Amino acid sequence: MGAEIDVLGSGRHLIGGASVLTDGEWLWRDDLRFYLATHHVHLPQDFLETARGNDYRVPDLREDQLRLAGEEAMRILGYQ
């Protein structure tokens, strides 16, 4: 677990911010909640619809779903 600097300029360090979360469809970093609360960033409508459909909870996923999500996160982040 590391500390990431706020890329939008507050100067704050966000503990564990680079951790990746998923609902099986979307991937997002754990520091997204900070950016929502602090900088009022806007999210894509499709993401919001999925979140609402999941009652704003991250669903339990099977191990194979989590593995695929992890591989996709690594690909997006350029670690492969």
Tokens 């619809």 correspond to: 49
pLDDT tens for 15-24 read 988 888 899 9
Beta partners for residue 20, in sequence order: 29
Measured CA to CA, the distance from residue 22 to residue 69 in angstroms comes to: 7
Domain ranges of the chain: 3-76
pLDDT tens for 23-62 read 999 999 999 999 999 999 999 999 999 999 999 998 999 9
Phi, psi of 70 (to 5 degrees): -65, -40
The pLDDT value recorded for residue 22 is: 92
